[in-house]
Amino acid sequence: MGQNDRADEPDKRTLRREVLRVRNGLTADDVRESGAALARWALALPELAHARTVAAYVSVGSEPGTLALLDALRARGVRVLLPALLPDNDLDWGTYTGEGTLARVRHGGRMDLFEPAGERLGPDAVTEADAVLLPGLAVDARGMRLGRGGGSYDRVLARLDRAGAHPALVVLLYGSEVVGRVPGEPHDRPVHAAVTPSGVRRFGRPGDGPAGRTP
């Protein structure tokens, strides 16, 4: 890690704190309504309309809600993969078969996560996905995503690179979390689009039109 990367870390922490402060002020109704709107926009994405396998996640707390989107994808016949956190912060994967089959899991002193209760498919299962839906706290105009800092999705993206897999990478956020600039590091990989409750922002995936909100 170079000097500039070390200098970026306080900026990342400050941005994370600010985003989490705003999210923590949301009500359960805010989260539910935002999740429904986000699902409508996401389901209209060509990348999801043609996907056979989508790697996603179950939102927790004040994250933009994902369950409506997961159920809609499953109703389309899409195979939905959900992560299970491993002790080293890497991610295993299992198949989503409905909200009733999710297991609530606490990893140490962290927030409880909802993970698939069935068979584990291994960390490499994500390489089969046509699209990967990523959690995040912010994204900038370059498509650089700010995560929570645990590194789990950095490992996922590195695994996709090693496998030569090129799924669509889509981060799910609130509208205010599309920001001017996210502090970056050399290993960071940009996403192709951000979906918010008010629209879609694209970041120049090859073959896309100009970046910006899409109907």
Q: What are the backbone dihedrals phi and psi of residue 199, each rounded to the nearest 5 degrees, phi first?
A: 160, -170
pLDDT of the residue at 149 = 79
Per-residue pLDDT tens listing for the chain (215 residues): 233 334 445 588 899 999 999 999 999 999 999 999 999 999 999 999 999 999 999 999 899 999 999 999 999 999 999 999 999 999 999 999 998 889 998 887 667 899 999 899 999 999 999 999 999 999 999 999 998 878 899 999 999 999 999 999 999 999 999 999 998 777 778 999 999 999 999 997 544 433 344 43
How would you write the chain as a 3-class SS string? CCHHHHHHHHHHHHHHHHHHHHHHCCCHHHHHHHHHHHHHHHHCCHHHHCCCEEECCCCCCCCCCCHHHHHHHHHCCCEEEEEEECCCCCEEEEECCCHHHEEEECCCCCCCEEEECCCCCCHHHHHHCCEEEECCCEECCCCCEECCCCCHHHHHHHHHHHHCCCCEEEEECCHHHECCCCCCCCCCCCCCEEEECCEEEECCCCCCCCCCEEC
Which fold is adopted by the domain 3-203?
Rossmann fold (3.40.50)
- For 89-120, the pLDDT digits (tens) are 999 999 999 988 899 988 876 678 999 998 99
Q: What residue spans define the domains of the chain?
A: 3-203
Nearest in space to 57 (alpha carbons), one of 110, 121, 133: 133
pLDDT of the residue at 205 = 53
pLDDT of the residue at 109 = 66
pLDDT of the residue at 107 = 81
Name the residue type at position 105: V
Q: Are strands 113-116 and 193-196 parallel, antiparallel or unpaired?
A: unpaired
Whether the full predicted model's pTM is greater than 0.95, yes or no, is no
pLDDT of the residue at 13 = 87
Question: CA 211 to CA 56: how far, in whole Å?
Answer: 23
pLDDT of the residue at 206 = 43
The answer to whether 148 and 189 have CB atoms below 8 angstroms apart is: no
